[in-house]
Chains A and B, each alone.
Chain A
């Protein structure tokens, strides 16, 4: 299958990446080439196969549970140290609601 203009724009909007009209044909061509190549997976018989989620190899122990307790905190200054903009102990962003 091949992505049309509207689909490429919709995907870019979902990804929150601005896509100019000038760049659209290039991006569309690249995505379609990659998706065309990925398409071959449809031919693999996966009936009854459980999907592999996560990267642990076969035989690895399941992920452990831990106590639900606070292990960290009180480091607002360190967390805000890289903020492009802040107000008090908050990250500042442009106005969202008029």
Chain B
């Protein structure tokens, strides 16, 4: 088999049997990146030399019998993770020239376990977007094509669009992402791959460029649920450098994938039957429930009554936290500085931020500044925090009746560049099914489950109890086996 077709589990087995070397695997990925990245734009930075050096070091470790759990696995790293000595942009002009003098905890752990980084993946600017079109480095092309319009460029979703497109197009077998309102799960669904956002606190946020600190979580992308489980184990764990990271043991997630769903109670939240949901998505959802029933699960109707308030709640809380987090970009300590002759400090701040941030980022900073400003804090921010508590309470109530929830991941398949762009609120609706898990801090997985009439992939989402990623992976694994999703995108290595 060509190395680019290998899953992580298959590649690790091939390395162990010495049928493949890490150098061969990395070279195959780098060759695929060289051929397809000019078109897909999935990477902002490609670190070919470092990747080959890391792969050769990995082969040497394996030869000495010292291979780690991910030794030799080539990965794409969302360009929101600080990587020591490698430019980190957050897809923003305001970080022009920034080279982190330190490594994020998640990427440090992946390196500790032997992973080989191929490059830094494109994303929406500061992870704010659902299409990858807000990137200062340009959009990413979704490798999938509509059957009746193969020439139309579709978006890969966002914000982790480059990571998802790179995995789908077989440039790499896995990638890291971050998810604040759906930024792993929605692009996974749009690109026909798997992606999991773990429980808030499962992965350290240290060294990840902050967007909304109470919502941000790192997680993996891969082409199988099992591969996601393998990556998640290396990414997880307590970190004293992040006071919100959870001090609890990291289970063997991989073992949970094949566990099955016999005896599990799976909830169907009735409020997720959104008006205007495409019939194909409704049908796939019903199919997913039938698969789980066939696997021995009991399907239970549940109610999450505050669901419809989740998106407006998110669009108060996330911009408020963003306006605070992004205050650090001021042209003083790192990144871009715009200073005109005779300008004072304040004029420098204002010019740097006006030229350094794109429109969507500016919008969110302004909304966040307004809802936190004197006289409006209680009416907007405090109100949203209270509604957030009600949304979390809805889930706590559901967990008294069910073990996990099954929903669609996104309200549509991948859309074309140019669609939905005039109206920010229409774009925000992409996250309607994913954002609740961020607000309540819960683990959520998207698994590819079928194709629409145009041949585009559709995903189903599994949401689980706090810190029950194993349960989520078990349900996702069962859907994956029943769906037998084998379709591959038009554009691939």
A residues bordering B, Cβ < 8 Å?
A: 3, 7-8, 11-19, 27, 30-31, 33-35, 37-38, 40-42, 44, 46, 49-61, 63-64, 66, 75, 78-79, 81-85, 91, 93-96
Beyond contacts A17-B350, A31-B370, A33-B423: 4 other A-B pairs, Cβ-Cβ < 8 A, are A17-B357, A56-B200, A63-B244, A82-B334
How many B residues face the partner with a CB closer than 8 A? 79
Question: When the two chains form their complex, are residues B441 and A60 in contact, meaning their CB atoms are under 8 A apart?
Answer: yes
Q: Smallest CB-CB separation from B309: which chain A residue?
A: A44
- A16, chain B: closest CB distance, angstroms: 4
Q: How far is the CA of A98 from the CA of B386 in the complex (A)?
A: 47
- A41, chain B: closest CB distance, angstroms: 5
Question: When the two chains form their complex, are residues B201 and A56 in contact, meaning their CB atoms are under 8 A apart?
Answer: yes
Asked if B392 is an interface residue, CB under 8 A from chain A, the answer is: yes
Asked if B316 is an interface residue, CB under 8 A from chain A, the answer is: yes
Q: Which residues of B contact A31 (CB under 8 A)?
A: 363, 366-367, 370
B97, B213, B330, B373 interface centre (most CB from chain A within 10 Å) = B373
Question: When the two chains form their complex, are residues A49 and B386 in contact, meaning their CB atoms are under 8 A apart?
Answer: yes
Q: Smallest CB-CB separation from A7: which chain B residue?
A: B370
Q: Smallest CB-CB separation from B212: which chain A residue?
A: A55
Q: Smallest CB-CB separation from A75: which chain B residue?
A: B101
Looking at the complex, which one of A44, A46, A52 makes contact with B392 (CB distance below 8 Å)? A52
Question: When the two chains form their complex, are residues A52 and B385 in contact, meaning their CB atoms are under 8 A apart?
Answer: yes
Looking at the complex, which one of A11, A17, A30, A54 makes contact with B370 (CB distance below 8 Å)? A11
A7, A12, A17, A18 interface centre (most CB from chain B within 10 Å) = A17
Q: How far is the CA of A32 from the CA of B240 in the complex (A)?
A: 41
Question: When the two chains form their complex, are residues B214 and A55 in contact, meaning their CB atoms are under 8 A apart?
Answer: yes
Question: When the two chains form their complex, are residues B332 and A91 in contact, meaning their CB atoms are under 8 A apart?
Answer: yes
Question: When the two chains form their complex, are residues B247 and A64 in contact, meaning their CB atoms are under 8 A apart?
Answer: yes
Segment among B227-235, B262-270, B294-302, B340-348 that sits at the interface with chain A: B340-348
Question: When the two chains form their complex, are residues A35 and B370 in contact, meaning their CB atoms are under 8 A apart?
Answer: yes
Q: Which residues of A contact B325 (CB under 8 A)?
A: none
Q: Smallest CB-CB separation from B311: which chain A residue?
A: A37
Asked if B68 is an interface residue, CB under 8 A from chain A, the answer is: no
A30, A66, A78 interface centre (most CB from chain B within 10 Å) = A30
Are A38 and B200 CB-contacts (below 8 A) given A50-B386, A55-B215, A58-B392? no
Looking at the complex, which one of A8, A41, A42, A56 makes contact with B244 (CB distance below 8 Å)? A56
Q: Which residues of B contact A56 (CB under 8 A)?
A: 200-201, 244, 246, 441
Q: Which residues of B contact A12 (CB under 8 A)?
A: 366
Question: When the two chains form their complex, are residues B312 and A38 in contact, meaning their CB atoms are under 8 A apart?
Answer: yes
Q: Which residues of A contact B41 (CB under 8 A)?
A: none
Q: Which residues of A contact B386 (CB under 8 A)?
A: 44, 46, 49-52
Question: When the two chains form their complex, are residues A93 and B370 in contact, meaning their CB atoms are under 8 A apart?
Answer: no
Asked if B379 is an interface residue, CB under 8 A from chain A, the answer is: yes
Looking at the complex, which one of A44, A64, A78 makes contact with B101 (CB distance below 8 Å)? A78
- A51, chain B: closest CB distance, angstroms: 3
Q: How far is the CA of A94 from the CA of B342 in the complex (A)?
A: 9
Q: Smallest CB-CB separation from A36: which chain B residue?
A: B425
Instruction: Sample 14 A-B pairs with CB under 8 A, ordered by A number.
Output: A16-B353, A17-B350, A31-B370, A34-B315, A34-B424, A41-B313, A51-B386, A52-B389, A54-B244, A58-B392, A60-B466, A79-B333, A83-B332, A94-B348
